[in-house]
Structure 1
């Protein structure tokens, strides 16, 4: 996927479908393989609905609940990548990647298998700082609305191509972490994050309904 780099001063890289913010001089740290135990898995929030973010061309966008429904209902092999890089394929929906959606968010689960790909994924999150997610998509249907003198694009239908583990995602509230089979405390922390995101998303939808 082609990246269009802006000036070194603003440190923003745009992909064909969104953007990743990171210091311009930063480069991904080398991956270090780590021990992978049976039962460990990646869990994450890939996208949060109803949350404004800046997409390509710096336009405000909002993903509407259900916008990825057609992609999820199809047999399309949605990919899990690192940094929107097709050469860093971790898994697809045809194997260990599981994707679910409700009226608040898009979530992922992926078994951290005892393979080189599993070790890379685990190291990317734990050691490489890729603790957020970003979606790669093509807009199929959308509409625009003027909110506080700013045009906001509401995406109602989009083709979901891939989900990437990144250091900084475009949509606030995404996350990625390794859930260890032997550590239930991570599960409790993740559930607490979900509760906080629920409250935030509901508040924003109430604000939109009142406009």
Structure 2
């Protein structure tokens, strides 16, 4: 699973948080390549009715809500993947509300896989660009770990040795060489 970040968090009321888990067209600079999410990338996942979880720092044991229960609402708009989350009355939920209010946690991330044909690669001015056309969204997460400047927060696990070997071999680029997991 791949993980990307973006968005600003805001308390939408007592026990509610809203923001953008992804912003369309914003370039993420991920070491050896740039990446952008295109409008419509999440449409299939949202239409499928699959359960998508909201987590704290991508930790499965820090569940904050889910689309299945209705505590997480997701939709695409012109700006990106918007969400609203009803925080649980749990230690994670209460702590997170305080951290958001203080500004310690101000960003979001999302975890996904890319189905065949879901991305497009090209080289522009000596830099590889990956456009995410369609992704299978697995989770959104609220986090405080910024990793690159064009988005608020990022958490990523990428095997750089395999990445740099892949960019030397154009055949590998079109394959699932960027599958990552945490």
User: TM > 0.5 between the two?
Assistant: yes
Structure 2, unaligned runs of 5 or more: 6-12, 154-182
Q: Deviations over 1:41-82 (max 9, x none)?
A: 101111001111034x64211111101111000121111111
What is aligned with 1:149? 126
* Structure 2 counterparts to residues 1-211 of structure 1, below 5 A: 16-18=1-3, 39-55=14-30, 58-95=32-69, 96-127=71-102, 129-140=104-115, 141-167=118-144, 168=146, 172-174=150-152
Q: 1:83 offset after TM fit, Å? A: 1.0
Cα distance change on mapping 1:73 and 1:169 into 2, 3 Å: farther
Structure 1 or 2: larger helix share? 1
Contact 2:26/2:37, CA 8 A, preserved across alignment: yes
What TM-score results when the alignment is normalised by the length of structure 1? 0.59
What is aligned with 2:163? none
Corresponding pairs, count:
142
Q: 1:169 offset after TM fit, Å? A: 6.0
Q: 1:153 offset after TM fit, Å? A: 0.6
Q: Deviations over 1:114-138 (max 9, x none)?
A: 4445313313423571110011011
Q: 1:174 offset after TM fit, Å? A: 4.9
What is aligned with 1:180? none
RMSD: 2.5
Separation of aligned partners in 2, 1:164 and 1:129:
15
Structure 1, unaligned runs of 5 or more: 1-15, 21-37, 176-211
What TM-score results when the alignment is normalised by the length of structure 2? 0.68
Q: 1:146 offset after TM fit, Å? A: 2.1
Separation of aligned partners in 2, 1:114 and 1:18:
27
Separation of aligned partners in 2, 1:46 and 1:132:
8
Separation of aligned partners in 2, 1:109 and 1:127:
19
